[in-house]
């Protein structure tokens, strides 16, 4: 007899227990299909795990709802709706059948009479069975909506769950900026939270605690209804933040990849839209995050502020020591030791600093040895070493006689030296006449030792000789034996006439170094200056340089520029894109750029001419070593058919 001591419960049958164990062990699915009700022949039944059928079943139909209990995931809730036109019997026992038709769960209930409409009353009755399983992982919570009736609660629940599974969640009041205790009312990001406010928690020390929460004024916070299950927290989830000093008016995205098990998987959120803390304005230097947003900006006024540590300052006296040197040593085929120029200034030249120690100067080096300073004195004189350099302002050749072969006018006179004088004193005709008569034999012998006039250079006519100009000592400093010296030879095979246009007739200077042939410096018949067999570019033909490019090894092109800094252009393929779940690797340039990559772009090339591909590439970022591109999928064709074609330019 039913009274206040009666117990009502639901259990799995032996068949149900075995099927659940088998499904869990083998990873197979288990589906509930039908629910039966009976009157137990008027008895008060007690569920028995050995049952294979109800005592007296009078109705069996498809279940209307199968779901897990939100408060306890190990409890499965099943429902059946009995319409108003079915009944006329008592309900004392309930059975649940799986897709194979086996009774897998049985329950008893307080007796309830289901009337028929013909009895003058009617009702639509909901029968619900709750039972505990060890794990719901293998249970398929699925019904056929075409053959069941839906309660209002079921419809409301389905709408809420469908909305909760969307990637765009209801906005939150604030977002955390540090790890917090998930309980009680508190102030976050400058906002005092009211009870029931929604909060984005994203900075917990244990990242599995991150997510969307509702503030509780008396106890522990709970996750929001639209993000309190694994099915509702999906990769790419977006949520807007309404208020806050740091995070107000921002949008955050869940960047954790699937699969996500809520409460187990570490969740990471990143700002997709929002303030970066940089005020509006123009900045010389900016820092950009991976989304292309400016997160920092400065306007430095120094070279160091721009990251330049070896540049010359402009508009100020420099106390640096810039050294200018050729990229390769001088000589034939890059042999030998080269030279360098160094700009020196001990310190700023002031009115009281008048000694040469403070003079601005250019220091010349040769073969690793100091040669000499070219300096300006405090009087404005140009000095080579410590010697004054003569120029048009301090020397007039018209008022001076040349030391070599001076030309006098009129009748110049000079004192007559004493006979036998052997000094640098000038000799007049009287001294010469006396000396010639006294030492005729000696003078004659001396004249015989002079060079034949035939070997002298002719003046006033085209010369076909080959004069060689060379210093009497080797090149270098202090007459050191640090090289065999150099020479310049004036070459002209024969007189250049109108019909002699071959380069072998070109007037030229032949440079020799260390007893090795170096190269000719020639003028071509069209007026070009030629070094060896290469045209020398000048201000008049520099546009020829800028209009040419040169192919380089490793599939790149060198583009000369006017300031001498070359640009490199290179293009290449990346590897084949994988399936949508395969991460695409970074791609290295075939040849890293020496300084930086100025621009990179990507195109998509299909490896199949007759198969539609649903992928394309976009550029994520580039640097001097390579690029990072990512493929996109559209779901309209095949995958793993395309490669990226990358175009990059830099210096």
Please, what sign has the CA dihedral across residues 136, 138, 139, 143? positive
- Could you read off the pLDDT of 98-148 as tens digits, one per residue? 999 999 999 999 999 999 888 888 788 889 998 887 665 555 544 444 444
Question: Over 90: is that where the pLDDT of 184 sits?
Answer: yes
- Could you read off the pLDDT of 209-265 as tens digits, one per residue? 999 999 998 899 999 999 999 999 999 999 999 999 999 999 999 999 999 999 999
With pLDDT > 90 as the criterion, what percentage of the chain qualifies? 35
Question: Over 80: is that where the pLDDT of 591 sits?
Answer: yes
Residue 280: CB atoms within 10 A of its CB come to: 5
* pLDDT the model gives residue 515: 55
Please, what sign has the CA dihedral across residues 397, 400, 404, 407? positive
* pLDDT the model gives residue 438: 78
Question: Over 60: is that where the pLDDT of 395 sits?
Answer: yes
Of 390 and 600, the one with more pLDDT: 600
- C-beta separation of 248 from 227 below 8 A: no
DSSP 457: P
- Name the token pair of 151: 């309660």
Question: Over 70: is that where the pLDDT of 188 sits?
Answer: yes
- Strand 556-559 with 567-573, pairing: antiparallel
| Distance in angstroms (rounded) separating the CA atoms of residues 623 and 406 | 69
- Could you read off the pLDDT of 630-651 as tens digits, one per residue? 998 887 778 888 999 999 999 9
Q: pLDDT-derived band of residue 400, with 50, 70 and 90 as boundaries?
A: confident
Residue 172: CB atoms within 10 A of its CB come to: 24
Distance set, CA 15 to CA 21, 53, 381, 445 (Å): 10, 11, 114, 141
- Could you read off the pLDDT of 401-450 as tens digits, one per residue? 777 887 777 888 889 989 888 888 888 888 888 877 776 666 565 555 55
With pLDDT > 70 as the criterion, what percentage of the chain qualifies? 71
Of 585, 566, 569, the residue nearest 628 (C-alpha): 585
Report the mean per-residue pLDDT for the chain. 78
| Domain map (residue ranges) of the chain | 10-163, 166-273, 468-535, 567-650
- Could you read off the pLDDT of 153-173 as tens digits, one per residue? 555 555 555 555 557 899 999
Distance set, CA 465 to CA 461, 468, 475, 505, 521 (Å): 11, 10, 25, 14, 18
Place of tokens 């198969």: 611
Which of 80-89, 254-263, 270-279, 428-437 shows the highest mean pLDDT?
Answer: 254-263
Full 3-state SS string of 388-430: ECCCCCCCCHHHCCCCCCCCCCCCCCCCCCCCCCCCCCCCCHH
CA angle 516, 518, 521 (to 5 degrees): 150
| Distance in angstroms (rounded) separating the CA atoms of residues 28 and 14 | 18
Q: pLDDT-derived band of residue 322, with 50, 70 and 90 as boundaries?
A: low
Please, what sign has the CA dihedral across residues 47, 52, 57, 61? positive
| Distance in angstroms (rounded) separating the CA atoms of residues 509 and 502 | 16
Overall average pLDDT of the 358-363 stretch? 74
Which of 128-142, 397-411, 449-463, 512-526 shows the highest mean pLDDT?
Answer: 397-411
- C-beta separation of 367 from 482 below 8 A: yes
Q: pLDDT-derived band of residue 476, with 50, 70 and 90 as boundaries?
A: very low
Of 224, 165, 161, the residue nearest 198 (C-alpha): 224
DSSP 3-state of 324: strand
Of 40, 20, 47, the residue nearest 32 (C-alpha): 20
- Name the token pair of 201: 């928690």
Q: pLDDT-derived band of residue 378, with 50, 70 and 90 as boundaries?
A: confident
Instruction: Strand 387-388: give its sheet, edge to edge.
Output: 323-325, 339-344, 361-366, 369-376, 382-384, 387-388
* pLDDT the model gives residue 138: 53
Question: Over 70: is that where the pLDDT of 186 sits?
Answer: yes
- C-beta separation of 342 from 363 below 8 A: yes
DSSP 3-state of 296: strand
Question: Over 50: is that where the pLDDT of 469 sits?
Answer: no
Of 458 and 583, the one with more pLDDT: 583
For 581-636, give the DSSP string. Answer: TSPPPPEE-SS--SS-EEEEEEEEEES-SSS-B-EEEEEEEE-SSEEEEEEEE-SS
Contacts of 120 (CB under 8 A, 6+ apart): none
Question: Over 70: is that where the pLDDT of 71 sits?
Answer: yes
Place of tokens 């008016």: 249
Of 551, 586, 581, the residue nearest 566 (C-alpha): 551
* pLDDT the model gives residue 614: 83
> Can you say whether residue 447 is alpha, beta or left, with left for phi > 0 and alpha for psi between -120 and 50 degrees?
alpha
* pLDDT the model gives residue 301: 79
For 531-550, give the DSSP string. Answer: ETTEEPP-TTTHHHHHT--E
Please, what sign has the CA dihedral across residues 501, 502, 503, 507? negative
């Amino acid at each position: 007899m039913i009274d206040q001591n009666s117990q009502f419960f639901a259990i799995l049958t032996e068949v149900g227990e075995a099927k659940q164990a088998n499904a869990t062990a083998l990873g197979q699915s288990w589906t509930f299909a039908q629910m039966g009700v009976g009157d137990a022949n008027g008895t008060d039944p007690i569920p028995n795990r050995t049952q294979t059928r109800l005592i007296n079943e009078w109705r069996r139909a498809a279940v209307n709802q199968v779901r897990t209990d939100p408060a306890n995931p190990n409890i499965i809730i099943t429902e059946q709706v009995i319409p108003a036109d079915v009944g006329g019997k008592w309900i004392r026992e309930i059975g649940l059948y799986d897709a194979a038709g086996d009774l897998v769960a049985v329950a008893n209930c307080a007796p309830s009479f289901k009337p028929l409409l013909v009895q003058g009353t009617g009702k639509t009755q909901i029968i619900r069975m709750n039972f505990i399983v060890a794990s719901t992982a293998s249970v398929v919570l699925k019904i056929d909506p075409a053959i069941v009736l839906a309660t209002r609660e079921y419809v409301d629940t389905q709408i809420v769950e469908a909305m909760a599974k969307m990637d765009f969640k209801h906005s939150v009041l604030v977002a955390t900026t540090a790890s917090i205790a998930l309980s009680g009312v508190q102030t976050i990001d400058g906002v005092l939270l009211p009870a029931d406010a929604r909060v984005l928690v994203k900075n917990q020390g244990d990242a599995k605690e991150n997510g969307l929460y509702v503030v509780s004024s008396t106890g522990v916070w709970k996750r929001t209804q639209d993000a309190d299950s694994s099915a509702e927290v999906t990769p790419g989830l977006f949520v807007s933040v309404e208020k806050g000093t740091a995070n107000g008016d921002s949008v955050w995205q869940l960047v954790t990849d699937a699969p996500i098990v809520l409460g187990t998987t570490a969740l990471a959120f990143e700002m997709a839209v929002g303030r970066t803390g940089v005020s509006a304005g123009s900045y010389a230097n900016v820092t950009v995050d991976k989304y292309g947003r400016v997160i920092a900006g400065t306007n430095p006024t120094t070279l160091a502020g721009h990251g330049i540590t070896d540049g010359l300052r402009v508009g100020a006296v420099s106390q640096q020591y810039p050294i200018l040197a050729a990229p390769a040593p001088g000589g034939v085929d890059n042999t030998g030791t080269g030279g360098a120029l160094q700009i020196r200034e001990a310190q700023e030249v002031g009115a009281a600093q008048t000694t040469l120690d403070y003079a601005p100067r250019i220091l010349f080096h040769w073969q690793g040895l100091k040669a000499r300073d070219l300096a300006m004195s405090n009087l404005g004189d140009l000095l080579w070493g410590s010697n004054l350099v003569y120029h048009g302002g301090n020397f007039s050749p018209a008022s001076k006689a040349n030391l070599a072969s001076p030309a006098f006018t009129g009748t110049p006179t000079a004192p007559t030296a004493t006979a036998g004088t052997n000094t640098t004193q000038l000799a007049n005709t009287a001294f010469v006449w006396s000396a010639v008569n006294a030492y005729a034999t000696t003078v004659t012998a001396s004249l015989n030792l002079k060079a034949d006039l035939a070997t002298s250079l002719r003046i006033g006519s085209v010369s076909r000789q080959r004069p060689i100009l060379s210093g009497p000592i080797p090149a270098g400093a202090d007459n050191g034996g640090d090289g065999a010296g150099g020479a310049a030879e004036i070459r002209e095979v024969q007189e250049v006439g109108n019909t002699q246009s071959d380069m072998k007739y070109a007037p030229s200077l032949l440079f020799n170094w260390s007893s090795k042939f170096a190269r000719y410096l020639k003028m071509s018949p069209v007026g070009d200056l030629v070094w060896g067999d290469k045209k020398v570019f000048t201000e008049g033909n520099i546009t020829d340089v800028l209009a040419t490019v040169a192919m380089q090894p490793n599939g790149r092109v060198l583009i000369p520029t006017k300031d001498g800094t070359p640009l490199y252009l290179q293009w290449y393929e990346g590897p084949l894109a994988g399936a949508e779940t395969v991460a695409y690797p970074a791609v290295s340039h075939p040849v890293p750029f020496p300084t930086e990559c100025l621009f990179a772009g990507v195109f998509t090339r299909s490896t199949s001419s007759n198969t539609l591909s649903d992928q394309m590439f976009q550029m994520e970022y580039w640097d001097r070593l390579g690029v990072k591109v990512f493929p996109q999928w559209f779901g309209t064709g095949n995958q793993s058919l395309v490669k990226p074609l990358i175009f990059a330019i830099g210096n």
